[in-house]
Amino acid sequence: MEEGTSDNDRHKIRNICILAHVDHGKTTLADQLIATAGGGMVHPKVAGRVRFMDYLDEEQRRAITMKSSSISLHYNHYTVNLIDSPGHIDFCGEVSTAARLSDGALLLVDAVEGVHIQTHAVLRQCWIERLSPCLVLNKIDRLITELKLTPFEAYTRLLRIVHEVNGIVSAYNSQKYLSDVDSLLAGGTAAGGEVMEDYDDVEDVFQPQKGNVVFACALDGWGFGIHEFAEIYASKLGASVSALQKALWGPRYFNPKTKMIVGKKGIGGGGKAKPMFVQFVLEPLWQVYQGALEGDKGLIEKVIRSFNLQVPARELMNKDAKVVLQSVMSRWLPLSDAILSMVVKCLPDPVAAQGSRISRLIPQCEVTAENEIDKRVVEEAEVVRRSVERCDWRDEAPCVAFVAKMFALPVRMLPPPQVGEVVGSFGEEGDGESDECFLAFARIFSGVLSVGQRVFVLSALYDPLKGESMQKHIQEAELKSMYLMMGQGLKVVKSAKAGDVVAIRGLGQHILKSATLSSTRNCWPFSSMAFQVAPILRVAIEPSDPADMGSLLKGLRLLNRADPFVEVTVSARGEHVLAAAGEVHLERCIKDLKDRFAKVSLEVSPPLVSYKETIEGEVSNMLEKLKILSRNLDYVEKTTPNGRCVVRVQVMKLLPSLTKVLDESADLLGDIVGVNSAQTVKSLETQRTNILEENENPAEVLKKRIMDAIESDVLDRNENDEDHAEKCRLKWLKLLRRIWALGPSYIGANVLFTPDIKAESTDGSVLIRGSSQLSEKLGFMADSSGSNLVADTSSNESQVLYMDAARLESNVITGFQLATSAGPLCDEPMWGLAFVIEARITPSSGQYDEFETHQQSDQYGIFAGQVIATVKDACRAAVLKNKPRLVEAMYFCELNTPTEYLGPMYGVLSRRRARILKEEMQEGSPFFTVHAYVPVSESFGFTDELRSRTSGAASALLVLSHWEALLEDPFFVPKTEEEIEEFGDGSSVLPNTARKLIDTVRRRKGLPVEEKVVQHGTKQRTLARKV
């Protein structure tokens, strides 16, 4: 980075991040590495306890990491840029940032707790961003001191964790399309479960023998890989280091008589034989612990002697066993050496890494240049892409960097400006009189960036081929200063090369969350980062004093920029809505807003929960029901006010598997249909990342997913009846050719089918046929001709009518979009429904003259508008008629609790309508793991309540999982005799849950709510008298 380094120095850089489930020890590990390689920033005595990377007050107070930040370490002439990331699900956006900037990852797993849901999630992130991972099994000390396992039991436990992690990686590699929750449930591997079995044909990613696994105790600063022990024992046992390295893991045994390493069969001795890992690695460790904890100096000295350790006598005399342990262990097996040598050996340098990450970073674009200019653009963009691929660090290479997030720092924290730095008032950065300065957390992928340089800032939507129309996606900016990040501290640098990770000042005005920086306009922007979840916890915010509105707006703007994950919007009703990932995140945002960005007191609304609306119904008869409408009586009919258009709507429930596919493929659909999903779907969709392999076509991917969903359903239903299954398949194929549109926003999980064309009329009316546009785009049409032809026209009059019908098609779609975006229950979007809309128009009663049409539009508004409104009403009415149901979002919840708190934990769960999926004792520990679904609307304060009821012993992690319909009928009124007997005659029935939720939403939206203020006055009187 500094001038004067050799050209080869790129190979001496490692950019890595630490990833793990919450509390597995990432920041503690970072402390140890900083103490050794951070140039004295953390004293070894306090390492593991200061949590240097958690420098925010909130982080120290809560003892969890909330942001990712980097630090530059030096180890044996290598520079290691280390990014510590948060493990809490609320801050998973920061994990995406960390992963994008790194080339390798240290995956930490707590040896006691094992694999947890965020372990899945971060492994997935690793896989998406194509990072090379190494595994660190942390908190080995807890196996000895807390669980009191024998060395052999500890070995089986470690073996299982390694196996489990390997299983997850291989599942991602092979199946590619699984959400974290799905894979957790499918694998059934959560802490202590069985292990995935069917991946034996691929080689494990993590193998201690290969040197990419370290066993550690970050708190006390010791740790080792197999290699360390292989070296220790090589001379003692008279074996080669490499032979030992292979033998110190797995079922390998040492035969003391023959001095040979043998397999299970070779050793004999019944079940008593100990694998070498147990005998040579774990047993000495256990001895040290035993010696220290039981005050048996002899045992410790034996170990010190046999491993030839230099421990000052003064430290050995210490009364506190923990101090003795730490000083022996950290000298014997220094953690930083084990980790950093593994990083240097097993993780790639930027040159190697960028070569393999390129297809993810800048996916290859299939473009055909139409003219000379375009050709040159494409050529140059290709040159840029190649130099990113090669990590070209020469001065003359094009400059490309990616800003993964913006973060705010109080101006007083910045180092004083240096000579040569562009000094300017910080106000220039667009934030007026603010005391906050915005820095970009960036990685340089090609060329050299220098202070004072001007670069182009490209947004993710930029397309170099589209020239003028792209103005809003490209800006120019000057880099004011550049820093190396040292945790909270910043070290000024003048320039930085490809492969470096830096903080850049001067982009505050130009970048909102992330962007690509480039020295040329002719460059493809980097692909967007993948986020595990979307921000779903929304609250409305207003200043306590209306006069502070200005400050609040400014504050919100700053917050929106400073937090990569928060979303600030203005709702249709004019409220300022803040969307965060969860309660902890929200709390921090509000605090930041109050203390740093807006500095005014605020009123925060209760969370605004999103719902969806659907209908009850068996799906199996969907194919049957889809027969010609007119022969079916199950429809709703409405007529436009001018009487010219009759709309018949039929609604059915969509296959759940199909709904799921549509739900999760919103961004693919956005590409296919041509709307920008990033803007339309952001609200509450579970934005499962849809990562396409190179050269994959979104339409084909989606088509395959849809076919898979249908196929699995067909098979499920017709297990033994192949004939019938075949018939179903044919019917489905026919049906898939009739997809007219999706809604809401053209990409939702509701399908509009074109009406059956055979349903021709006899009364002279003309059907608005629609067209199977979407089926065509998805490739379901064998040939696209014929579907959309206007039937041959006999008379002039009917020709006009046919043209009218063709023109009204888009209005039918609009009506459908409006209806699906606001259902009849409480104006929430519809979900998982299939509609068939048969709209027929008749000639207007009079002649077709200008005058007539004018009069009509005066009277009822424009015909097109009438069609839209009528279609919308008819769709909503159809839903109401077909047993409407409320759909709520569900969290998947993983709870951990000691056995004695199971009771209170179940109490909390049942009060919140939770559904338990699985409960399981963790083998060899007093912990229970429980999986459950909890409705989002019931989740507020959940973790706090859980903590207080269990004295902090139970922990829970919530991940947005899926949508689920409430079975309850919101309009239930007892009718039959039995029902009246059970529930009363309706006078005393309390509103059911569904109804209560609906009413809450309606009240919030200002929709009419049917409410009796005084119910049954007479009864109340009698009651009162009785009392």
Ligand X SMILES: Nc1nc2c(ncn2[C@@H]2O[C@H](COP(=O)(O)OP(=O)(O)OP(=O)(O)O)[C@@H](O)[C@H]2O)c(=O)[nH]1
Taking the complex as a whole, the smallest distance from the CB of residue 54 to ligand X amounts, in Å, to 7
Question: 24 touches which of Mg ion, ligand X, none (CB within 5 to 8 A by kind)?
Answer: ligand X
Half-sphere exposure of 614 (CA within 13 A, CB side): 29
Q: 67 by DSSP, 3-state: which? A: coil
Tell me the window of 57-65, 173-181, 531-539, 844-852 that interacts with Mg ion (CB under 5 A).
57-65
Taking the complex as a whole, the smallest distance from the CB of residue 49 to ligand X amounts, in Å, to 7
E strand spans, 245-353: 253-255, 260-262
Binders in 108-167 for ligand X, by CB under 6 A: 138-139, 141-142
Measured from the CB atom, the residue of 65 and 354 that comes closer to ligand X is 65
Q: SS3 helix, strand, coil % of the chain, rounded to 5?
A: 40, 20, 35
Tell me the window of 22-30, 315-323, 681-689, 756-764 that interacts with ligand X (CB under 6 A).
22-30
Alpha-carbon span 99 to 130, nearest angstrom? 9
Q: Give yes or no for residue 28 binding ligand X (CB under 6 A).
A: yes
For residues 522 and 470, the answer to whether their CB atoms sit within 8 Å is no
Alpha-carbon span 744 to 163, nearest angstrom? 44
Alpha-carbon span 177 to 128, nearest angstrom? 11
What interhelical angle do 698-717 and 656-664 show, nearest 10? 160
Q: Give yes or no for residue 34 binding ligand X (CB under 6 A).
A: no
Q: Give yes or no for residue 929 binding ligand X (CB under 6 A).
A: no
Q: Give yes or no for residue 72 binding ligand X (CB under 6 A).
A: no
Q: Give yes or no for residue 26 binding Mg ion (CB under 5 A).
A: yes
User: Which amino acid is residue 213, in one-letter code?
Assistant: V
x/- letters, 184..223, toward ligand X (CB under 6 A): ---------------------------------xxx----
* Residues in contact with 468: Cβ distance below 8 Å, sequence separation at least 6, in sequence order: none
Measured from the CB atom, the residue of 64 and 397 that comes closer to ligand X is 64
In the set 13, 16, 17, 22, which binds ligand X (CB under 6 A)? 22
Measured from the CB atom, the residue of 290 and 306 that comes closer to ligand X is 290
Which structure tokens are listed for 395?
Answer: 């001065």
Measured from the CB atom, the residue of 19 and 135 that comes closer to Mg ion is 19
* Residues in contact with 900: Cβ distance below 8 Å, sequence separation at least 6, in sequence order: 953
Measured from the CB atom, the residue of 439 and 957 that comes closer to ligand X is 957
In the set 12, 14, 19, 25, which binds ligand X (CB under 6 A)? 25
Measured from the CB atom, the residue of 326 and 814 that comes closer to ligand X is 326
Question: 139 touches which of ligand X, Mg ion, none (CB within 5 to 8 A by kind)?
Answer: ligand X
For residues 676 and 472, the answer to whether their CB atoms sit within 8 Å is no
Measured from the CB atom, the residue of 217 and 946 that comes closer to ligand X is 217
**CB-based burial label for 895 (10 Å; 0-12, 13-18, 19+):** buried
Alpha-carbon span 195 to 197, nearest angstrom? 6
Taking the complex as a whole, the smallest distance from the CB of residue 274 to ligand X amounts, in Å, to 25
Question: 768 touches which of ligand X, Mg ion, none (CB within 5 to 8 A by kind)?
Answer: none
The C-alpha angle with vertex 301 and arms to 297 and 303, in degrees rounded to 5, equals 125
Question: 219 touches which of Mg ion, ligand X, none (CB within 5 to 8 A by kind)?
Answer: ligand X
Which structure tokens are listed for 672?
Answer: 């296919």
For residues 344 and 75, the answer to whether their CB atoms sit within 8 Å is yes
Measured from the CB atom, the residue of 109 and 834 that comes closer to ligand X is 109
* Residues in contact with 958: Cβ distance below 8 Å, sequence separation at least 6, in sequence order: 89, 582, 891, 892, 893, 934, 939, 942, 943
Measured from the CB atom, the residue of 57 and 726 that comes closer to ligand X is 57
For residues 216 and 141, the answer to whether their CB atoms sit within 8 Å is no
Taking the complex as a whole, the smallest distance from the CB of residue 84 to Mg ion amounts, in Å, to 6
Measured from the CB atom, the residue of 286 and 565 that comes closer to Mg ion is 565
Q: Is the C-alpha dihedral spanning 293, 294, 297, 299 positive or negative?
A: negative
Tell me the window of 17-25, 849-857, 860-868, 961-969 that interacts with ligand X (CB under 6 A).
17-25
Q: Give yes or no for residue 588 binding ligand X (CB under 6 A).
A: no
Q: Considering CB under 5 A, how many residues would be counted as binding Mg ion?
A: 3
Question: 217 touches which of Mg ion, ligand X, none (CB within 5 to 8 A by kind)?
Answer: ligand X
Measured from the CB atom, the residue of 112 and 728 that comes closer to ligand X is 112
Taking the complex as a whole, the smallest distance from the CB of residue 216 to ligand X amounts, in Å, to 6
Taking the complex as a whole, the smallest distance from the CB of residue 328 to ligand X amounts, in Å, to 16
Question: 22 touches which of ligand X, Mg ion, none (CB within 5 to 8 A by kind)?
Answer: ligand X
Q: How far apart are the first and last CA of the chain?
A: 84
Measured from the CB atom, the residue of 55 and 983 that comes closer to ligand X is 55
Smallest CA-to-CA distance from 398 within 521, 502, 240, 309 is with 521
Q: Is the C-alpha dihedral spanning 927, 932, 936, 942 positive or negative?
A: negative
Measured from the CB atom, the residue of 214 and 781 that comes closer to ligand X is 214
Measured from the CB atom, the residue of 64 and 377 that comes closer to ligand X is 64
Taking the complex as a whole, the smallest distance from the CB of residue 52 to Mg ion amounts, in Å, to 11
My answer on whether omega of the bond before 363 falls inside 30° of 0, hence cis, is: no
CA 783 to chain centre: 38
Alpha-carbon span 135 to 249, nearest angstrom? 15
Q: Give yes or no for residue 68 binding ligand X (CB under 6 A).
A: no
Q: Considering CB under 6 A, how many residues would be counted as binding ligand X?
A: 22
- What are the distances in angstroms from CA 10 to CA 47, 397, 484, 732? 29, 15, 16, 56
**Looking at beta carbons, which residue is closest to ligand X?**
87
In the set 15, 32, 65, 495, which binds Mg ion (CB under 5 A)? 65
Taking the complex as a whole, the smallest distance from the CB of residue 65 to Mg ion amounts, in Å, to 3
* Residues in contact with 392: Cβ distance below 8 Å, sequence separation at least 6, in sequence order: 398, 446, 447, 498
* Residues in contact with 961: Cβ distance below 8 Å, sequence separation at least 6, in sequence order: 179, 181, 686, 890, 891, 892, 933
Binders in 80-109 for ligand X, by CB under 6 A: 86-88
In the set 1, 20, 98, 144, which binds ligand X (CB under 6 A)? 20
Question: 142 touches which of ligand X, Mg ion, none (CB within 5 to 8 A by kind)?
Answer: ligand X
Tell me the window of 23-31, 366-374, 463-471, 509-517 that interacts with Mg ion (CB under 5 A).
23-31
Taking the complex as a whole, the smallest distance from the CB of residue 54 to Mg ion amounts, in Å, to 6
Measured from the CB atom, the residue of 27 and 125 that comes closer to Mg ion is 27
- Determine how β-strand 955-965 pairs with β-strand 884-898: antiparallel
Tell me the window of 58-66, 181-189, 920-928, 1000-1008 that interacts with ligand X (CB under 6 A).
58-66
DSSP 898-949: EGGGHHHHHHHHHHTT-EEEEEEEPTTSSEEEEEEEEEGGG-TTHHHHHHHH
Tell me the window of 27-35, 459-467, 860-868, 1014-1022 that interacts with Mg ion (CB under 5 A).
27-35
Taking the complex as a whole, the smallest distance from the CB of residue 115 to ligand X amounts, in Å, to 14
Taking the complex as a whole, the smallest distance from the CB of residue 327 to ligand X amounts, in Å, to 16
Q: Give yes or no for residue 27 binding Mg ion (CB under 5 A).
A: yes
Tell me the window of 62-70, 366-374, 389-397, 995-1003 that interacts with ligand X (CB under 6 A).
62-70
Measured from the CB atom, the residue of 101 and 766 that comes closer to ligand X is 101
For residues 351 and 444, the answer to whether their CB atoms sit within 8 Å is no
Q: Is the C-alpha dihedral spanning 967, 968, 971, 973 positive or negative?
A: positive
Q: Give yes or no for residue 657 binding Mg ion (CB under 5 A).
A: no
Q: Using CB under 5 A, list all residues that contact Mg ion.
A: 26-27, 65
Q: Using CB under 6 A, list all residues that contact ligand X.
A: 20, 22-28, 51, 63-65, 86-88, 138-139, 141-142, 217-219
